[in-house]
Amino acid sequence: MAHTIQHLSHDLYPEPGQEHATGVPVPPFHPTVAEEDATVLSNMAVNAQYWHLVIQASPLAAAASPGQFYQLQCPPAHGAIPYLRRPMSLYGTDTATGQIQFLYKVTGSGTRGLSTLVPSDTIRILGPLGKGYDLAGHLRHIVVIGRGVGLATLAPLAEAAHMAGIGVTAILSARSPELIVSADRFNMKGMSVIPVTDTQGNSDPAWIEQALRGLISADRCDALFTCGSSRLLRMLRALAVEFDLPGQVALEQQMACGLGMCFCCVRDFASAHGTVTRRVCLDGPVFDIRETLA
């Protein structure tokens, strides 16, 4: 019986390079996701709330696109042992060197554990995962809008657009000017940066909406990209519908496996056939902004 099962298994799932039972050659398997121990190169606080982690991994692990994410096995801290891996958006990557960057805010046991990492420590990673941003189409000038750590996933997107010859305006939101992250990174590439903060009174979605309407009327916005904030998402979705603009949003969601198997990250989306349920980790985390319900 065992031999029969083994024989059937070989017929149904032959080794790459061999032939299927039907005589059809099996194409070689090319993995796109790595699970490995990465080495910490640096881990520093960039301001009072956010940290910048740089790790050394394999070229396969570093072969990520803007908008994709990784699952990180965070170390224990202060007696707390994070059981599940934590999803972390890509902040930057270099396939040639294998370096991967993350920007994170210390909010719970997982990120507290991350903040204890020092150079030469190792961390278990799984990724890259999910579907990233899509810059396809005849885009001339995009607008990226993000708040806080949500800017992490927008920075590599803006750089990819800049390298493709697409103009970029970045609206960066935070509680106060000293908490705005990535402004220097955008400025160094010659992108237009509009900082908005709670303390200055211009971070409200209504103010940002007026700024966007000005950019749209000046023909400096033919696509919208954002991450995280539900208030911003509702406003941007309405603008996208009103002006028939393409747009994408990277969603933040609690996850367990990150591979689409546990269905812990599902949420509702609009479709031509009504409301549908999708998995953020596998079907996203980047979605069409007009289909995303806030």
Q: Per the domain annotation, does 274 fall within a domain?
A: yes
Strands 247-250, 224-227: pairing is parallel
Whether 5 and 70 share a structural domain: no
CB 158 within 8 A of CB 191: yes
Average of per-residue pLDDT across 231-236: 92
Overall pTM > 0.85? yes
Helices marked H in the chain: 2-12, 59-62, 109-114, 151-163, 183-188, 205-217, 230-243, 280-283
Residue 265 annotated in ligand binding: yes
> For 84-94, how does the pLDDT look when each residue is reduced to its tens digit (9 = 90+)?
899 999 999 99
Q: Per the domain annotation, does 294 fall within a domain?
A: no
Q: How far apart are CA 207 and CA 192, in angstroms?
A: 18
Q: Per the domain annotation, does 259 fall within a domain?
A: yes
Q: How far apart are CA 261 and CA 279, in angstroms?
A: 9
Residue 281 annotated in ligand binding: yes
Q: How far apart are CA 106 and CA 51, in angstroms?
A: 8
Decide if pLDDT at 7 tops 60: no
Whether 107 and 234 share a structural domain: no
> For 51-75, how does the pLDDT look when each residue is reduced to its tens digit (9 = 90+)?
999 999 999 999 999 999 999 999 9
Whether 103 and 10 share a structural domain: no
Residue 44 annotated in ligand binding: no
Residue 262 annotated in ligand binding: yes
Residue 25 annotated in ligand binding: no
Share of the chain above pLDDT 70, in %: 90
Q: Name the 3-class secondary structure at 195.
A: strand
Residue 264 annotated in ligand binding: no
How confident is the model at residue 36, as a pLDDT?
A: 96
Whether 109 and 216 share a structural domain: no
Average of per-residue pLDDT across 238-266: 93
Residue 110 annotated in ligand binding: yes
Whether 101 and 238 share a structural domain: no
Whether 120 and 155 share a structural domain: no
Describe the chain by its helix, strand, coil percentages, rounded to 5. Answer: 25, 35, 40
CA-closest candidate to residue 143, choices 183, 170, 162: 170
Q: Per the domain annotation, does 70 fall within a domain?
A: yes
> For 13-56, how does the pLDDT look when each residue is reduced to its tens digit (9 = 90+)?
455 555 555 566 767 767 789 999 999 999 999 988 899 999 99
The total of structural domains in the chain comes to 3
Residue 89 annotated in ligand binding: yes
Whether 93 and 10 share a structural domain: no
CATH of the domain at 271: 3.40.50.80
Give me the domain span that covers residue 15: 1-27
Whether 2 and 82 share a structural domain: no
Whether 152 and 257 share a structural domain: yes
Whether 113 and 159 share a structural domain: no
Q: Per the domain annotation, does 136 fall within a domain?
A: no
Q: Per the domain annotation, does 255 fall within a domain?
A: yes
